C-alpha cells in the first residue's frame, strides 16, 4: 500500500498581472487581444528602460532584465502590494542568451579576458538580483529553469509558496531572443514576460482564483492551445508564452480547467475561475 | 496584507534525509569523503583543466570524462551530466530513489537540482568548432539536453525513472541549498511524498575566466578566514539527498532537515551586503523555522569562500546571530567552491558530521584573521553534534541557510 497522502487542492488569488511580448505592450492592451476585443497583431517586443535601476546598471541591462523588471513592476503595481515585501519566483528558459553568446565567443577567441559585468550578468538569477536591488526586496527569491516548461514550473513553485507560507508571492516568467548561431539550435525569436502576483486570500483587487487540483495536478492531457494562429505561434515559440491560455481565461473572465505545457511526459493541470 | 520585512516564517514539518551521497574532488561517495575529512585531505591542485591558462587551483573530480551515459540518453552527454551520473550511482543512491518511486509512485517523487552553469562547457567547446562559412555550431551540439540550465534535472529524472515534478534552481552559489526549501514546501503542500534534491556543477571556462575577471580567484589553494586570504578555488561536485516525511521509528543517527531560511541582500550583484544583513536574516529564519535558538546549534558549515569580502560579511552575520562561541569552518579548502553544487555538498558534509560526531576543521588556513570574531576550527574536533547549520550565498545577493539534526 503506497504511503501516499492525498493532496488537498491548492488555491491562490491573482492580485495583479504583468504582460509584455511581441505585439503585447502591457496587460491592459494585452487582455483585449486575449479576450478578442482587439485584433492581435504581432510586432517586435518594445522593451522599456528599467528606470528603477541606477544609471550604470540601466545602461548595461540586457533584454531579460528589461522584460522581467517591466512585467514584475506592472503586476505588483496592479496588486497594490509593496514590492519590497514580496517573496518572488523568477523562471526563465535560458537566462540571457545574448550575454551567453558574447561570453562563449570571447572564450573561443584568443583573448579570454571576459568582462566582469558580463560574468555577473551571466548568472541565471541576474533578473532576480536586479529586481531585489531595485525594489529593496529582501524576502526570498526562487530562481528556476525548466526549459520550455518554465511557466508551469514557476506557477507550481509560486502556488506552493503561497499556500504553505500563507504569503503573497510574485511570479515572473520571462525569456529573451537567441542570437545566431545559438538561434538555429533554439529558435526563440523575441523577448516576452508574464508576471502574476498571487495571494492566499481574496481581496477587492482579485481578478481570478487559480487552483491546482490536488492529486490530479499532473496530467497527460495535451497542453491547451490558442485559437488565434498568431497567438498560438507565440505560445509555441517563446517558452514564457505557454502561460497565455491561463491569461486568456483570466481576460475572458472564464472558468476553465487548463492543461499548461510543462515537461515532455506530463503537463500541469490548473483550474481558473473568475472572482 | 502588510508583511513584516523580516519575513514571516511558517514552520514546516522536518524531513528525513533517508539517503545521501556526494562526489567531489575529495572522493566518490561517502566513505572516501568521510576519510578525507578525517585525514584532512584537500582535493585542490594546480589547474590543468582543458586549455585553461590561469594560475589557480581547482578541485577537479578525477575520471568524469570516463563516464558513459546510457545509449538512450546519449544526447545529454556533457561533463555536467557525466558528473551527475557518477554521483547518482554512488552509495546505492539511485537504487534508493528507485525504491522510493516504487513505494510512493514515480509521479509522487519530485526532483529539484541546483546548478549554476549546467552543461555550458559543451557550448564553450562548440563555439571553438563553428562553421567557417556561416559560423554555425556543429551538428553534434544539442542545446536542449546539454546547454540548457534544466538539462541536469531532465537527465537525472530520466536516469532515475521519475515522473513527478522537476525543476532546476539556478541562483548561483545558493542553488543547491535552496532546492531543500522548494522540496520541503512541495512535500508540505502534499503534491509529492518524496524528493530527490541535490546540486551538480562542473568545471568550465565561463566560471574560471569569470571569477578571474572579478579578481576573486586565488593563485593558490583557497584559505578561508585566513588573514591573507585572497580568493576562491573553484571546484566541481555532484551531491544528492532523498527527502521523505519522518516515519515513527528512526535510527538515532538518522539525519533530519529541520528548517530553511532564505533571503535576498537587495544590495549588489557581485558583492555581499557589507554587514551580512541578508545572510543574518536567512540564518534567523532557518532557526525560527526549526523551532531552535542560536544556542542550540553545535556547528556551522560556513559559506566561507575565502574572498576578503565574503568572509568579513559572513562573520559579522554569524556573530550577530550566534555570538563568537559556536565552532564553525569552511570546507572549501578541501573541496574548492563548487558553486551551484556547494549547498548540497556541504549539506552532505553536515550529515556526515552529525552521524560521525566529527566537526571538520578548515584546511589551508595558516593564520586566522583576527578581525573575524568566530570560533573558526583549523583542526578537526570530535564532538557529538546534534544540530548544525550550513550557509550558502550567491551572486545577485541570494542567501540560504539550512538546519540539520540527528533524529535522537
Instruction: Compute the nearest-CA separation of B103 from chain A (Å).
Output: 5
Answer yes or no: B337 catalytic.
yes
Residue B10 confidence class, pLDDT cut points 50, 70, 90? low
B212's grid cell: 578571474
| Cβ separation A132–B269 shorter than 8 A | no
Selecting among B142, B147, B273, B337, the annotated active-site residue is B337
pLDDT of residue B386: 97
Percent of chain B with pLDDT over 70: 97
Is A205 a residue whose pLDDT tops 70? yes
Residue B4 confidence class, pLDDT cut points 50, 70, 90? very low
Average pLDDT over residues B260-283: 95
Query: How far apart are alpha carbons A127 and A174 in whole angstroms?
Result: 10
pLDDT of residue B8: 46
Query: How far apart are alpha carbons B238 and B200 in whole angstroms?
Result: 4
Nearest residue in A to B271, CA atom: A120
Average pLDDT over residues B163-192: 97
- For residue A130, what are the contacts with CB-CB under 8 A and spacing of at least 6? A50, A53, A57, A61, A65, A69, B269, B396
| Cβ separation A160–B185 shorter than 8 A | yes
pLDDT of residue A2: 39
Percent of chain B with pLDDT over 90: 96
Instruction: Compute the nearest-CA separation of A240 from chain B (Å).
Output: 15
Instruction: Compute the nearest-CA separation of B375 from chain A (Å).
Output: 28
Look up the domain containing A173 and give its range.
13-205
Average pLDDT, chain B: 96
Considering only CB atoms, B166 lies closest to which of A129, A146, A181, namely: A146
A12 against B10, higher pLDDT: A12
pLDDT of residue A60: 85
Average pLDDT over residues B271-291: 96
Query: How far apart are alpha carbons A239 and B34 in whole angstroms?
Result: 43
Per-residue pLDDT of A246-262, as tens digits, reads 999 999 999 999 999 99
Nearest residue in A to B264, CA atom: A138
Q: What is the DSSP string of chain A?
A: ---PPPPPPEEEEEEEEEEEBTTB-SHHHHHHHHHTSS--------PPP-TTS-HHHHHH--HHHHHHHHHHHHHHHHHT--GGG--EEEEESSS-HHHHHHHHHHHTSS-----HHHHHHTSTTHHHHHHHHHHT--S-EEEEE-GGGHHHHHHHHHHHHHHHTT--EEEEEEE-PPPTTHHHHS---S-EEEEEEEESS--TT--EEEEE-GGGSEE-SPPP--SSHHHHHHHHHSGGGGGHHHHHHHHTT--EEEEE--SSS-EEEEEEEE-
pLDDT of residue A3: 42
pLDDT of residue B230: 98
Percent of chain A with pLDDT over 70: 97
Per-residue pLDDT of B308-342, as tens digits, reads 999 999 999 999 999 999 999 999 999 999 999 99
| Cβ separation B108–A2 shorter than 8 A | yes
| Cβ separation B167–A145 shorter than 8 A | yes
The gap from C-alpha B160 to its chain's centroid, in whole angstroms, comes to 20
Across the A:B interface, residue pairs with CB atoms under 8 Å apart total: 261
Q: Which residues pair with B329 in a beta bridge?
A: B301
B270: nearest Cα among B101, B397, B117: B397
pLDDT of residue B5: 38
Percent of chain A with pLDDT over 90: 91
Residue A59 confidence class, pLDDT cut points 50, 70, 90? confident
| Cβ separation B205–A166 shorter than 8 A | no
A112 found inside a domain = yes
Query: How far apart are alpha carbons B16 and B269 in whole angstroms?
Result: 35
Query: In a mutagenesis test of the B interface, which of A69, A125, A182 is the best target, namely the one with the most B β-carbons within 10 Å?
Result: A125
Per-residue pLDDT of B36-53, as tens digits, reads 999 999 999 999 999 999
Considering only CB atoms, A218 lies closest to which of B107, B147, B181, namely: B107
CATH label of the domain that carries residue A87 = 3.40.47.10
| Cβ separation A123–B396 shorter than 8 A | yes
Instruction: Compute the nearest-CA separation of A152 from chain B (Å).
Output: 10
A149 found inside a domain = yes
Considering only CB atoms, A133 lies closest to which of B141, B148, B266, namely: B266
A263 found inside a domain = no
Selecting among B173, B204, B350, B400, the annotated active-site residue is B173
Which chain A residues contact residue B165 at CB under 8 A?
Answer: 153, 156, 218
Selecting among B303, B328, B350, B400, the annotated active-site residue is B303
**A113 CB-contact burial (10 Å; exposed 0-12 / middle 13-18 / buried 19+):** exposed
| Cβ separation B165–A218 shorter than 8 A | yes
Instruction: Judge: domain B15-406, CATH 3.40.50.300.
Output: no
| Cβ separation B144–A186 shorter than 8 A | yes
Number of domains in chain A: 1
pLDDT of residue B252: 85
| Cβ separation A138–B12 shorter than 8 A | no
Is A1 a residue whose pLDDT tops 50? no
| Cβ separation B189–A160 shorter than 8 A | yes
**What is the reported pTM?**
0.97
Query: How far apart are alpha carbons A23 and A29 in whole angstroms?
Result: 9
| Cβ separation A104–B124 shorter than 8 A | yes
Is A104 a residue whose pLDDT tops 60? yes
Considering only CB atoms, A185 lies closest to which of B141, B153, B205, namely: B141
Average pLDDT over residues A235-250: 98
Considering only CB atoms, B127 lies closest to which of A107, A121, A133, namely: A107
Three-class SS of chain B = CCCCCCCCCCCCCCEEEEEEEEEECCEECHHHHHHHHHHCCCCCEECCCCCCCCCCEEECCCCHHHCCCCHHHHHHCCHHHHHHHHHHCHHHHHHHHHHHHHHHCHHHEEEEEECCCCCHHHHHHHHCCCCCCCCCCCCCCCHHHHHCCCHHHHHHHHHHCCCCCEEEECCHHHHHHHHHHHHHHHHHCCCCCEEEEEEEECCCHHHHHHHHHCCCECCCCCCCCECCCCCECEECEEEEEEEEECCCCCCCCCEEEEEEEEEECCCCCCCCCCCCHHHHHHHHHHHHHCCCCHHHCCEEECCCCCCHHHHHHHHHHHHHHHCCCCEEECCHHHHCECHHHHHHHHHHHHHHHHHHCEECCCCCCCCECCCCCCEECCCCEECCCCEEEEEEEECCCEEEEEEEEECC
Beta strands B57-59; B45-46: pairing state:
antiparallel
Burial B385-402 (b: 16+ CB within 10 A, else e): bbbbbbbbbbbbbbbbbb
Which chain B residues contact residue A146 at CB under 8 A?
Answer: 150, 153, 166-168
Which chain A residues contact residue B150 at CB under 8 A?
Answer: 93, 145-147, 149
pLDDT of residue A7: 63
Answer yes or no: B173 catalytic.
yes
Other CB atoms within 10 Å distance of the CB of residue A264: 11
Which chain B residues contact residue A8 at CB under 8 A?
Answer: 190
Nearest residue in A to B339, CA atom: A123
Instruction: Compute the nearest-CA separation of B116 from chain A (Å).
Output: 7
| Cβ separation B7–A132 shorter than 8 A | no
**A227 CB-contact burial (10 Å; exposed 0-12 / middle 13-18 / buried 19+):** exposed
Domain range annotation of chain B: 15-406
Instruction: Compute the nearest-CA separation of B358 from chain A (Å).
Output: 32
Terminal-to-terminal C-alpha distance of chain B: 40
| Cβ separation B265–A10 shorter than 8 A | no
A35 found inside a domain = yes
pLDDT of residue A6: 53
pLDDT of residue A56: 85
Instruction: Compute the nearest-CA separation of A66 from chain B (Å).
Output: 16
Query: How far apart are alpha carbons B174 and B306 in whole angstroms?
Result: 16
Nearest residue in A to B153, CA atom: A146
Answer yes or no: B222 catalytic.
no
| ipTM surpassing 0.90 | yes
Amino acid at each position: 500500500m503506497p504511503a501516499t497522502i492525498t493532496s488537498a487542492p491548492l488555491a491562490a488569488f491573482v492580485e495583479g498581472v504583468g504582460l509584455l511580448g511581441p505585439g503585447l505592450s502591457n496587460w491592459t492592451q494585452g487582455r483585449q487581444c486575449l479576450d478578442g476585443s482587439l485584433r492581435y497583431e504581432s510586432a517586435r517586443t518594445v522593451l522599456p528602460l528599467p528606470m528603477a535601476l541606477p544609471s550604470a546598471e540601466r545602461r548595461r541591462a540586457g533584454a531579460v532584465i528589461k522584460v522581467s523588471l517591466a512585467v514584475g513592476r506592472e503586476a505588483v503595481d496592479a496588486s497594490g502590494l509593496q514590492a519590497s515585501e514580496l517573496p518572488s519566483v523568477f523562471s526563465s528558459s535560458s537566462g540571457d542568451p545574448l550575454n551567453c553568446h558574447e561570453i562563449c565567443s570571447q572564450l573561443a577567441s584568443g583573448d579570454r579576458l571576459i568582462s566582469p559585468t558580463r560574468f555577473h550578468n551571466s548568472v541565471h538569477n541576474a533578473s532576480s538580483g536586479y529586481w531585489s536591488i531595485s525594489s529593496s526586496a529582501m524576502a526570498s527569491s526562487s530562481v528556476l529553469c525548466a526549459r520550455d516548461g518554465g511557466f508551469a514550473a514557476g506557477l507550481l513553485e509560486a502556488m506552493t509558496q503561497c499556500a504553505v507560507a500563507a504569503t503573497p508571492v510574485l511570479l515572473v516568467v520571462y525569456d529573451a531572443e537567441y542570437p545566431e548561431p545559438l538561434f538555429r539550435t533554439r529558435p526563440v525569436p523575441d523577448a516576452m514576460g508574464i508576471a502574476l502576483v498571487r495571494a492566499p486570500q481574496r481581496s477587492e483587487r482579485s481578478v481570478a482564483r487559480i487552483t491546482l487540483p490536488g492529486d490530479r495536478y499532473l496530467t497527460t492531457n495535451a497542453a491547451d492551445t490558442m485559437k488565434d494562429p498568431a497567438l498560438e505561434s507565440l505560445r509555441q515559440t517563446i517558452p514564457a508564452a505557454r502561460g497565455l491560455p491561463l491569461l486568456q481565461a483570466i481576460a475572458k473572465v472564464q472558468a476553465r480547467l487548463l492543461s499548461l505545457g510543462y515537461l515532455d511526459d506530463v503537463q500541469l493541470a490548473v483550474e481558473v475561475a473568475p472572482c | 496584507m502588510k508583511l513584516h520585512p523580516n519575513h514571516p516564517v511558517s514552520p514546516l514539518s522536518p524531513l528525513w534525509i533517508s539517503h545521501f551521497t556526494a562526489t567531489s574532488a575529495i572522493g566518490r561517495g561517502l566513505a572516501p569523503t568521510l576519510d578525507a575529512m578525517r585525514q584532512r585531505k584537500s582535493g585542490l591542485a594546480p589547474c590543468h583543466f582543458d586549455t585553461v591558462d590561469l594560475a589557480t587551483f581547482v578541485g577537479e573530480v578525477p575520471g568524469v570524462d570516463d563516464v558513459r551515459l546510457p545509449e538512450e540518453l546519449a544526447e545529454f552527454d556533457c561533463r555536467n551530466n557525466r558528473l551527475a551520473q557518477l554521483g547518482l550511482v554512488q552509495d546505492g543512491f539511485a537504487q534508493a530513489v528507485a525504491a522510493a518511486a516504487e513505494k510512493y509512485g514515480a509521479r509522487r517523487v519530485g526532483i529539484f537540482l541546483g546548478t549554476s552553469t549546467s552543461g555550458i562547457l559543451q557550448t564553450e567547446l562548440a563555439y571553438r568548432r563553428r562553421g567557417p562559412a556561416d559560423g554555425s555550431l556543429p551538428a553534434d551540439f544539442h542545446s536542449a539536453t546539454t546547454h540548457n540550465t534544466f538539462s541536469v534535472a531532465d537527465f537525472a529524472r530520466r536516469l532515475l525513472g521519475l515522473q513527478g515534478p522537476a525543476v532546476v534552481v539556478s541562483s548561483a552559489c545558493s542553488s543547491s541549498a535552496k532546492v531543500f526549501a522548494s522540496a520541503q514546501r512541495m512535500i508540505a503542500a502534499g503534491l509529492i511524498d518524496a524528493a530527490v534534491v541535490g546540486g551538480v556543477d562542473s568545471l568550465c571556462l565561463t566560471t574560471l575566466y569569470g571569477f578571474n575577471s572579478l579578481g576573486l580567484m586565488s593563485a593558490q589553494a583557497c584559505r578561508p578566514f585566513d588573514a591573507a586570504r585572497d580568493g576562491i578555488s573553484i571546484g566541481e561536485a555532484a551531491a544528492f539527498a532523498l527527502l521523505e516525511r519522518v516515519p515513527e521509528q528512526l535510527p538515532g543517527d538518522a539525519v533530519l532537515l529541520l528548517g530553511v531560511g532564505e533571503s535576498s541582500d537587495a544590495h549588489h550583484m557581485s558583492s555581499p551586503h557589507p554587514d551580512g544583513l541578508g545572510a543574518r536574516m536567512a540564518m534567523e529564519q532557518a532557526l525560527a523555522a526549526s523551532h531552535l535558538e542560536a544556542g542550540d546549534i553545535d556547528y556551522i558549515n560556513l559559506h566561507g569562500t575565502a574572498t576578503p569580502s565574503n568572509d568579513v560579511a559572513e562573520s559579522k552575520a554569524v556573530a550577530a546571530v550566534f555570538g563568537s562561541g559556536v565552532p564553525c569552518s569552511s570546507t572549501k579548502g578541501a573541496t574548492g567552491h563548487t558553486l551551484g553544487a556547494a549547498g548540497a555538498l556541504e549539506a552532505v558534509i553536515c550529515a556526515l558530521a552529525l552521524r560521525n560526531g566529527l566537526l571538520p576543521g578548515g584546511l589551508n588556513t595558516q593564520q586566522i584573521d583576527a578581525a573575524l570574531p568566530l570560533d573558526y576550527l583549523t583542526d578537526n574536533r570530535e564532538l557529538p553534534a546534534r544540530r548544525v547549520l550550513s550557509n550558502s550565498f550567491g551572486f545577485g545577493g541570494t542567501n540560504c541557510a539550512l538546519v540539520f539534526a540527528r533524529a535522537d
